[in-house]
Amino acid sequence: GIGIDDMFVIMQCFDNLTPQERGQDISETISLTMRRAGVAITVTSLTDFMVFAIGSSTVLPALRSFCLWCGVGILAVYMYQITLFVACLSLDCKRLANSRNGLCPCYVHKKNDKATEAAESQIQ
């Protein structure tokens, strides 16, 4: 996928953050993720767009139309990746921080630590 692999780059940069970097505020965590992934996805999307923009200068009408619309599509996917996908990622981080379920976000998981579970198992 041209352009679609940007979300994999963003998620890999997010996964590569240290626990100290993830322990910060969610907006700081997302900012640090995009600071690392932003250059890579911008360069690849720009070069893909440039290739199709150059390809749209051909004399063949069908190929010109194909290259023109591929360039527009790459720019649209890039804009969605840096806006919509990053916004959804930050909402998911907020959901995880609040111990909410992924399928039904209105359900909050109980926060049992290991000491509490050990004490409960000894009582029974």
Two tokens, residue 86: 């990053």
Beta bridge pairs of residue 108: 100
Q: Is 100 helix (H, G, I), strand (E, B) or coil?
A: strand
pTM as predicted: 0.79
Amino acid 113: pLDDT: 59
pLDDT at position 115:
54
Residues of 84-115 as b/e, b for ≥16 C-beta within 10 angstroms? eebeebbeebeeeeeebeeeeeeeeeeeeeee
Burial class (CB in 10 A: 0-12, 13-18, 19+), 76: exposed
CA atoms within 13 A on the CB side of 63: 8
The low-confidence residues of the chain, meaning pLDDT below 50, are: none
Give per-residue pLDDT as tens, 50-66. 999 999 999 999 999 99
Q: How far is it, in rounded angstroms, from Cα 33 to Cα 14?
A: 5
Residue for token pair 């969605």: 80
Residue (of 68, 62, 64, 73) closest to 2 by Cα position: 73
